[in-house]
């Protein structure tokens, strides 16, 4: 029996890229590959790239440069580039990086075995199509690996919002929702392989409108209620949402669906209506605040997380202050924040840019406010009992690490615990980015 070939995948960016890398490993599993964690051992190296941040493409070229000695030592080694930089700059990568054997976009990675076969024949391959066939269908019967207790599951891809700073509509295409029956089948399969918590993924996940097994169009809330019926699935999460797609039934599900976790990531980017307009976000600061009120009315203990961009073109100190005021009003439990970076091909990239020093100053002020809020949210957990799903051993002997319902990282010293255990934990301490606790019952 031929020895299995080794595949090394390096993943950048969002959870959807993490999910895609798992599916690409499954696709190559069908071609006789097993995963390795060291590029030195690999017969094939795959970079699954992200196009969100500045100089994303340049980072790919410098990373490829690191593998040149390996390729020179072993010419049979195949190197591929996947993900959003592949989609946006495929031909340029083929032109500039001679050591690259194949380039594949996020919509056609189910064709990886064919592309690898072409590369083995010495023919370089580029595939950044938006194919008609469903990649998930093509991967349906591939060998599947044992799973840890948590998993991502893509239910929706692409985006029709065209925010002025974002490349996603160009790299991931128009919004597509997977048929509900297929999502449920994949969820049951994950639970059958040991998963207890599933995070539903989509660039605009709450715009989900998949065909239901009853022939009707299902909303994300309808899908969540169906997932709620799966025995062995204890927790459901979803990300990333747009304020305009937070439907009444989804807000109600946060109030009524026990397995839907009290954590919501709801990006807003700015608190200034003028900048929200220039970003093409199609909502106001006021409508966002009212939405948060309605969500908190449905689930008062929900932890709200946000995304912020500072230094967007034309942002004044007054606009920035409006963002700070919105943050004060919402009081976030967690948040991601970035300096605006112009992305090639997006409308805002053509506009006059704000001085880098101004961006850095605003980011520092914004992050110190967000850190204060995040810390206060964690401190408020001390003395409370929360459910924790344990995922892996910690650094200390007998230590286990997991996540609470609110997605806080929690560690305990309890040697009887195993990955996959769900336990009641009394929080005893709040640290910079995690909580410590004592197991009550498990």
Query: Residue 56 Cβ, how far from ligand SF4 at the closest point, in Å?
Result: 15
Nearer to ligand SF4, 60 or 167 (CB): 167
Give the separation between CA 150 and CA 146, rounded to whole angstroms. 11
Q: Both tokens of residue 120?
A: 């083995």
Nearest CA-CA partner of 157 in 140, 135, 174, 134 = 174
Answer for the pair 296, 254: CB distance below 8 angstroms, yes or no. Answer: no
Nearer to ligand SF4, 169 or 313 (CB): 169
Give the separation between CA 11 and CA 125, rounded to whole angstroms. 20
Task: List the 33-35 sheet strands across, edge first.
Answer: 33-35, 5-11, 44-49, 78-83, 102-104, 125-127
Nearer to ligand SF4, 191 or 276 (CB): 276
Nearest CA-CA partner of 385 in 423, 433, 427 = 427
Nearer to ligand SF4, 161 or 442 (CB): 161
Nearer to ligand SF4, 51 or 403 (CB): 51
Distances (CA, A) of 26 to 14, 37, 101, 196, 199: 19, 15, 20, 21, 19
Answer for the pair 210, 217: CB distance below 8 angstroms, yes or no. Answer: yes
Distances (CA, A) of 358 to 310, 362, 363: 9, 6, 9
Nearer to ligand SF4, 162 or 336 (CB): 162
Q: Both tokens of residue 408?
A: 């806080």
Which residues is 104 bridged to in the sheet? Answer: 82, 127
Nearer to ligand SF4, 168 or 187 (CB): 168
Residues that bind ligand SF4 (CB under 6 A): 159, 161-163, 166, 168-169, 203-204, 242
Which residues is 45 bridged to in the sheet? Answer: 8, 79
- Identify the residue whose tokens are 């064709």: 111
Cα 334 to chain center, whole Å?
A: 15
Cα 179 to chain center, whole Å?
A: 20
- Identify the residue whose tokens are 């209506």: 273
Query: Residue 204 Cβ, how far from ligand SF4 at the closest point, in Å?
Result: 5
Nearer to ligand SF4, 341 or 399 (CB): 341
Residue 3 CB contacts under 8 Å (≥ 6 apart), including other chains:
none
Which residues is 150 bridged to in the sheet? Answer: 197
Nearer to ligand SF4, 280 or 399 (CB): 280
Distances (CA, A) of 314 to 65, 197, 276: 37, 42, 11
- Strands (E) across 185-287 are located at 197-201, 209-211, 217-219, 235-239, 263-265
Give the separation between CA 407 and CA 335, rounded to whole angstroms. 12
Query: Residue 280 Cβ, how far from ligand SF4 at the closest point, in Å?
Result: 8
Query: Residue 244 Cβ, how far from ligand SF4 at the closest point, in Å?
Result: 9
Nearer to ligand SF4, 309 or 435 (CB): 309
């Amino acid at each position: 029996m031929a020895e299995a070939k080794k595949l090394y995948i390096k993943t950048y960016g969002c959870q959807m890229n993490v999910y895609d890398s798992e599916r690409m490993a499954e696709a190559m599993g069908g071609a006789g590959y097993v995963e390795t964690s060291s590029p030195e051992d690999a017969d094939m190296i795959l970079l699954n790239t992200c196009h969100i941040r500045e100089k994303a493409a340049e980072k790919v070229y410098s990373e490829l440069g690191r593998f040149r000695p390996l390729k020179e030592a072993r010419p049979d080694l195949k190197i591929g580039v996947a993900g959003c930089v592949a989609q946006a700059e495929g031909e340029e990568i083929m032109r500039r990086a001679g050591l690259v054997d194949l380039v594949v976009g996020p919509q056609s990675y189910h064709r990886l075995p064919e592309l690898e076969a072409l590369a083995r024949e010495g023919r370089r391959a580029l595939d950044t199509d938006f194919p008609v066939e469903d990649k998930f269908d093509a991967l349906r019967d591939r060998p599947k690996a044992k799973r840890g207790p948590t998993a991502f599951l893509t239910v929706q891809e692409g985006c029709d919002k065209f925010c002025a700073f974002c490349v996603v509509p160009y790299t991931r295409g128009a919004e597509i929702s997977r048929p509900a029956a297929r999502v449920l089948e994949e969820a049951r399969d994950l639970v059958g392989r040991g998963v207890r918590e599933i995070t539903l993924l989509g660039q605009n996940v709450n715009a989900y409108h998949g065909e239901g097994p009853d022939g009707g169009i299902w909303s994300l809330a309808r899908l969540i209620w169906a997932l709620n019926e799966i025995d062995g699935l204890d927790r459901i999460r979803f990300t990333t949402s747009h304020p305009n797609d937070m439907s009444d039934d989804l807000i109600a599900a946060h109030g009524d669906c026990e397995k839907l976790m009290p954590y919501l990531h709801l990006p807003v980017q700015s608190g200034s209506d003028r900048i929200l307009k220039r970003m093409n976000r199609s909502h106001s600061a006021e409508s966002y605040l009212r939405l948060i009120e309605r969500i908190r009315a449905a689930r008062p203990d929900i932890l709200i997380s946000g995304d912020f961009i500072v230094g967007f073109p034309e942002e004044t100190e007054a606009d920035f202050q409006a963002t700070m005021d919105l943050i004060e009003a919402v009081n976030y439990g967690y948040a991601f924040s970035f300096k605006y970076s112009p992305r090639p091909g997006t409308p805002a990239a053509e506009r006059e840019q704000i001085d880098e020093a101004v961006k850095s100053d605003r980011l520092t002020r914004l992050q110190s406010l967000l850190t204060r809020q995040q810390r206060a949210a964690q401190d408020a957990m001390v003395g409370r009992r929360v459910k924790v799903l344990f995922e892996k051993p910690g650094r200390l002997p007998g230590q286990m690490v997991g996540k609470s319902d609110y997605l806080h990282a929690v560690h305990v010293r309890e040697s009887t615990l195993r990955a996959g255990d769900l336990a009641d934990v009394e929080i005893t301490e709040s640290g910079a980015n995690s909580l410590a606790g004592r197991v009550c019952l498990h």
